[in-house]
Structure 1
Amino acid sequence: MAARREVEITGLHVSPVHAFEGRPLDGPRPDPGPVAHDRVAVRAGLGLVGDRYFNHPAHRNAAVTFIAAESLAPWPVDPLVARRNVVLRGFDVDAVARGTVFSLDSGDGPVRFEVHRPASPCAWMDAVIAPGAFKALRGKGGVRCVPLDDGLLRIGRAVLALTGT
Structure 2
Amino acid sequence: MVAVESIEAEAGSGIVGDRHHGSRHRHVSVQSRDELAAATAARGAPVPEELTRRNLTLDHGAVPTIPGARLVVGDVVLEVVRRAAPCRVMDTEIGPGAARAMHERGGAICRVLSSGTIAVGDAVELPG
Interval containing the TM-score (normalised by the shorter chain)? 0.7 to 0.9
SS at match of 2:30: strand
Q: Distance in 1 between matches of 2:85 and 2:47?
A: 19
* Alignment-mate amino acid for residue 86 of structure 1: L
SS at match of 2:109: strand
Query: Structure 2 matches for 1:80-95, cutoff 5 A?
Result: 80-93=50-63, 95=64
1:131-161 Cα shifts (integer Å, max 9, x gaps): 1111111111111010000100111252324
Query: Structure 2 matches for 1:71-82, cutoff 5 A?
Result: 71-73=35-37, 74=40, 75-76=45-46, 78-82=48-52
Assess if the C-alpha contact under 8 Å between 2:73 and 2:122 holds in 1: no
Which residue of 53, 72, 84 maps to 1:103?
72
Structure 1 match to 2:111: 146
The share of aligned pairs that are identical, in percent, is 35
Assess if the C-alpha contact under 8 Å between 1:61 and 1:145 holds in 2: yes
Q: Distance in 2 between matches of 1:157 and 1:150?
A: 15
1:126 aligned onto 2:106: no
SS at match of 1:125: helix
* Alignment-mate amino acid for residue 155 of structure 1: V
Runs of at least 4 residues of structure 1 off by over 3 A?
75-78
Which residue of 108, 125, 128 maps to 1:160?
125
Q: Distance in 2 between matches of 1:53 and 1:70?
A: 25
1:80-129 Cα shifts (integer Å, max 9, x gaps): 21010001121201x43111112112xxxx21011010110022111112
Structure 2 match to 1:29: none
**Root mean square deviation of aligned Cα:** 1.8
- Equivalences, count: 122
Q: Distance in 2 between matches of 1:132 and 1:76?
A: 11
* Alignment-mate amino acid for residue 3 of structure 2: A
Give the strand-richer structure, 1 or 2: 1
SS at match of 1:162: coil
